[in-house]
Structure 1
Amino acid sequence: MTVVKWGRRALMGGMAAAMLTLAAPLAAQSIAGGYRVEGRNPDGSAYRGTVAIGEQGAMVHLSWRVGGQSYDGTGTRNGDIIWIDWGAEYPVVYVRMPNGELHGTWANGRALERLIP
């Protein structure tokens, strides 16, 4: 009976380790690439455009093209949270969603943005 219990524990421990190994790459999945952007300004007006994201380690670079204007920002990534300084008083803060979209806020939470791969 002791052998069975030990075998079960070993099996459960091995399964837990395998699940952690499989989960780790998902959390670190690259966000680099092109996105459509849909957002809402602090005044409530909507905007659309495109965003290109480059990633090197924890460093992230974004280039927005919205309404004929361009904006650039750089920042860091910690798992699924991305902080981007784009020259405004407050950064853009995104959360990577399970479907690959990035949902963010800017203007100290008064504006919203969604990046769609």
Structure 2
Amino acid sequence: MAKENISADQLISVIISSIEDVKGNKINILDLRDIENTVCDYFIICEGTSNTQVGAIVKSVQKKVSKELKDNPWHVEGEDNAEWVLIDYINVVVHVFQKHIRDYYDIESLWGDAKTTVIETSY
């Protein structure tokens, strides 16, 4: 399977690029590798301004990862209402929020011990 050859760095790079393609906001990478009992190695968190944009971000991520890395998510959850969509690539989990839902759950604070990288966007 091609998946075995994909590094987390490659996957993260393609995911970030695909979020930027549709102007996803406030992109953070949380490195969870030094935290015990985590479900994955990285969270990528971003937000869209509406359920339409959240849906567009989710589609962009799936399409670009599939095209460039020949990989598909293990699981996707939350697409119906598009307020918080989770895209699970096993080692990397993408959270796409609408702003008010992101503010409410504040998962960056819940994972406060994680090393956080803020991606600066130019739009």
TM-score normalised per structure 1: 0.32
Higher helix share goes to which structure? 2
Q: RCO (CA 8 Å, sep 6+): is it higher in 1 or 2?
A: 2
More strand by share: 1
TM-score (norm 2): 0.30
Larger radius of gyration: 1
